[in-house]
Homo-oligomer: A and B are copies of this chain.
Amino acid sequence: MSKGVVVPFGDPSPGGRPASLQPLLEITADDMGKIDRIIYSYAEAHVELIPKLAGHLISSGGKRLRPMITIGAAKMFDYAGETHVKIACAVEFLHTATLLHDDVVDESDERRGRKAARLIWGNQATVLVGDYLLAQCFKMMVETENMEALRIMSSAAADIAEGEVFQLTLQNNVATTEDDYMQMIEWKTATLFAAAAELGAVVAGRPPEEQAALRSYGRNLGIAFQLVDDALDYGGSSARMGKKVGDDFREGKITLPVVLAWRRGNEEERAFWQRVIEKREQHEGDLERALELMKKHGALADTVERARHYGAIARDALAAFPPHPARDALMEAVEFCIARAY
């Protein structure tokens, strides 16, 4: 690694324009096009229902941020092979499998602005197609014949599952500590971002300290991403997210804004959080009251502040590398993810 290059946080683009995902999108465009084709070919199966159900989610146009990070990281090291594309697909498959199981577990009605697969094909098929995609993820990884990459992916899969189970056990406890909450999103969300970034360095054959730097970038970006997502669920517009404001609230999810509002609340307010989140007894006007309490205690602003903290670490993880269009694009992507919150 070269000596550190100082990049002023909060002003990532040379021209002073607002932070954008555009540079990363452009740098990864060719490879992301290939990913699309590979994803559809691996979602194929003899049993028709599998590509139909998987395709419903795959074609609903998620940002594909995780595979894009793998591609961007490989580009940053001027990797010239093709294996990064397959690994990026495997990353997206693991993510898609998780989303399918998530929807069943959360009893979600919508995903990426579309009716959730489970409402069309049922919980049963959704669980099993998730299993299929998880298996296809590992088949793809085996085809790369990269044992280190396989190690990272299988650990990520285990961590994600552990995070999901942990989330379930926290579900009915508004007194969840911030530490427990952070541990949960570390497993549930940050692990896959960390793996996605690290795999870009692994496929490029970079030394351990550079792999670790990319892992750190991904991990901290993932935490920031999840915290912003949590804040957006109480403040973003449904048009931007393909998600309606208040989804987490209606599902009674414990997220950082709730954790903070409960901790900072008085007795009467805590009783409110217990009723709406733990007991999920929700009436007309409760969401508005929740937003009001979050505003009163700065719960949303401070959730975004926490996100900025992790975002800064993510950027610094890459700051030690020499300037490179892909590195700069990855750093700007952090800023973009956080800027979504405003």
* Residues on A facing B (Cβ under 8 Å): 45-50, 101, 104-105, 123-125, 127-129, 131-132, 134-136, 138-139, 141-142, 145, 147, 150-151, 153-155, 157-158, 160-162, 164-166, 168-169
Q: A158 vs B165: C-alpha distance in the bound complex, in angstroms? A: 23
Q: Is the CB of A127 within 8 A of B145?
A: no
List, in ascending order, chain B residues with CB within 8 A of A145's CB.
147
Q: Give the contacting residue for A125; candidates B124, B138, B168; CB below 8 A.
A: B168
Q: Is the CB of B105 within 8 A of A162?
A: no
Known: A101-B131, A139-B158, A145-B147. 11 other contacts (CB 8 A): A49-B168, A50-B165, A104-B123, A123-B123, A128-B165, A129-B161, A129-B165, A131-B160, A138-B150, A138-B153, A142-B147
Q: Is the CB of A127 within 8 A of B104?
A: yes
Q: A128 vs B161: C-alpha distance in the bound complex, in angstroms? A: 6
State whether A128 and B154 are in contact (beta carbons under 8 Å apart), knowing that A46-B162, A50-B162, A138-B138 are contacts in the complex. no
List, in ascending order, chain B residues with CB within 8 A of A47's CB.
162, 165-166, 169
Q: A45 vs B155: C-alpha distance in the bound complex, in angstroms? A: 12
Q: A161 vs B135: C-alpha distance in the bound complex, in angstroms? A: 8
Q: Is the CB of A162 within 8 A of B127?
A: no
List, in ascending order, chain B residues with CB within 8 A of A105's CB.
124, 127-128
Q: A166 vs B50: C-alpha distance in the bound complex, in angstroms? A: 9
List, in ascending order, chain B residues with CB within 8 A of A138's CB.
138, 150, 153-154, 157
Q: A164 vs B162: C-alpha distance in the bound complex, in angstroms? A: 24
Q: Give the contacting residue for A162; candidates B132, B155, B161, B166; CB below 8 A.
A: B132
Whose C-beta in chain B lies nearest to the C-beta of A48?
B169
Q: A161 vs B145: C-alpha distance in the bound complex, in angstroms? A: 23
Q: Is the CB of A128 within 8 A of B158?
A: no
State whether A169 and B131 are in contact (beta carbons under 8 Å apart), knowing that A139-B154, A147-B147, A157-B138 are contacts in the complex. no
Q: A129 vs B105: C-alpha distance in the bound complex, in angstroms? A: 12
State whether A155 and B139 are in contact (beta carbons under 8 Å apart), knowing that A46-B162, A101-B131 are contacts in the complex. yes
Q: A138 vs B161: C-alpha distance in the bound complex, in angstroms? A: 13
Q: Is the CB of B135 within 8 A of A154?
A: yes
